[in-house]
Amino acid sequence: MSQTPTDGPLYLDKAAPDVWAAMGAVKKQISAAAAAAGLAEGLLELIYLRVSQINGCAYCLDVHFQKAVRLGEDPRRIVVLQEWQETELFDDVESAALELAESITRIPSPADRGLTEDVAREVLGDAAYAVVAWAAISMNAFNRVSITSHHPVR
């Protein structure tokens, strides 16, 4: 059975609300695991922002910028986040988390994968490493939903 497209984009979150709700539940679990691993909610927002920068998701950038600022993140750090490696504004844990999130988002070759993972595990520990990995994986999925749906920045 074929459907005739209607005017405007098809918002995947509205077209399959149960799937969208399940993704939201995963995000809540990631937040709970982050708290249990001692990772600040603000660090999760930096991860979400960095992944969204790489993927070019304006909607998610807007959402997570606003949340990061509400949580007290320094706007200066947000502005330089795309080039975080060139600054001294991020501590070792934040740097390891951002490096891991970038690695997961860009999916490097197997030869390049090991060093980033080893360093991140050493700095973060296994529990925090797993949280950062899940945060990056889920944000990549959310970016793809928003990009595919053409979610507008309001």
Prediction pTM value: 0.91
Question: DSSP 3-state assignment of 108?
Answer: coil
107: phi > 0 → left, psi -120 to 50 → alpha, else beta; which? left
Sign of torsion, CA 122 126 131 135? positive
Question: Does a structural domain hold residue 74?
Answer: yes
Question: Does a structural domain hold residue 154?
Answer: no
Whichever domain contains 93, its CATH number is 1.20.1290.10
Percentage of residues in the chain with pLDDT exceeding 90? 86
Percentage of residues in the chain with pLDDT exceeding 70? 93
Question: Does a structural domain hold residue 76?
Answer: yes
Residue 109's pLDDT is what?
A: 75
Question: Does a structural domain hold residue 119?
Answer: yes
Residue 2's pLDDT is what?
A: 46
Q: CA of 83: how far to CAs of 39, 57, 78, 90, 116, in Å?
A: 22, 17, 10, 11, 17
Q: Which of 73, 57, 75, 140 is nearest to 101 (CA)?
A: 140
Q: Count of domains in the chain?
A: 1
